[in-house]
Structure 1
Amino acid sequence: MDRIYFASEPESTLNRRLQLKLERQIFITRKTRPIVVDAILHESAIHTQVGGPAVMEDQLEHLVEMSKRPNITLRVLPFTAGHPLGTPAGSFTILDMKPIAGTENNPVVYFDSLVGAACLENPEEVETHRSAIASIRHTALDEVSTRTRLRQVGKTFSRKG
């Protein structure tokens, strides 16, 4: 079967990317000082099929289970919320790491794209993105309603399989 994504990439490169993603999950699931994750997904992300229906059903159930962890907050921004900022915000991550003794911590806004990544370090730009997240969070489903929505969408995939 031909790949649509990264069609010119060798299989070894794709396998290495997958391995790195799996290794990063350890930081979230480890027992001692796991990374705190506070994520908001647009509802379109949970309806967009990647893999077959069974894969989607499993992935959505995985999100439900992960969202029960004390270090993970997951919310879905429903279709009905429209654009809380007046325009689509796009995908970004605020990396806010605790400083190591003797170092300074400056949060950054991280963007990833098909051609590379970029970071914003200017405090005003970081604050603009924090404010955006606060507005989006205000219109997103709460954690319990998010798990309910994930399960509902997961069931639609189970009927397709």
Structure 2
Amino acid sequence: MTFIGEACPTPSRTGVEHQVELRQQRQERLNRAGNPTRLRCVLDEAALHRLVGGPEVMREQLEHLIELSEKPNINIRVVPFAAGAHAGSKSAFSLLRFPENLNTDAVYLENERGAVWLERPADIEHYTTVFDLMSSRALDASASMELVASLASSL
């Protein structure tokens, strides 16, 4: 709850609690039995260095990423600082893919005042290209988790 509360200049307790609840519900989908949601995540290394909640909380968060990466439905990779500027440097986004029969792929962009959903094919194609370019600059999963473990142990 720390990040959500600190990242908003005028947080309301109920608003922060609602955001935390939504995130927890999304996380539960990664753990459901039978057919868990698949997650492919590419993080900029800068996100791993931002100390949120103090060293102990940050270490726990980094260790949690390592635990998640061990699940077969989750792939977490890091674009290292050494990669320089990359296509995803401008802003964070989530590219959501659904079964073909649903035909509802979308891009989710959070911002200061809420969120925006993009569903136009051209937008999905653009963000798919950005994701692919980021992926091409990222460390492989094993090297990514070595980096995360190194950062966790330094806290």
Where in structure 1 are there 5+ consecutive unaligned residues?
none
Alignment match, 1:140: 138
Q: How far apart in 1 are the matches of 2:50 and 2:42?
A: 16
Which of 114, 117, 125 aligns to 2:115? It is: 117
Report matched runs for 1:93-132 at 5 Å.
93-98=94-99, 104-132=102-130
TM-score, with structure 2 as normaliser:
0.88
Alignment match, 1:62: 64
Q: Deviations over 1:77-106 (max 9, x none)?
A: 000101233x8331111111125xxx6413
* Residue identity opposite 1:77 in structure 2: V
Q: How far apart in 2 are the matches of 1:151 and 1:104?
A: 38
Whether contact under 8 Å (2:42, 2:78) holds in the other structure is yes
Alignment match, 2:147: 149
Q: Secondary structure at the match of 1:150?
A: helix
Matched, 1:25 2:23: no
Q: Secondary structure at the match of 2:132?
A: helix
Q: How far apart in 2 are the matches of 1:48 and 1:91?
A: 15
- The alpha-carbon deviation at position 42 of structure 1 amounts to 0.3
Where in structure 2 are there 5+ consecutive unaligned residues?
none
Give me the CA root mean square deviation.
Answer: 1.8
Q: How far apart in 1 are the matches of 2:92 and 2:9?
A: 24
Q: What count of residue pairs does the alignment treat as equivalent?
A: 151
Aligned-residue sequence identity (percent) comes to 30
Q: How far apart in 2 are the matches of 1:75 and 1:112?
A: 21
* Residue identity opposite 2:109 in structure 1: F
Which of 39, 42, 45 aligns to 2:44? It is: 42
Alignment match, 2:76: 74
Matched, 1:89 2:87: no
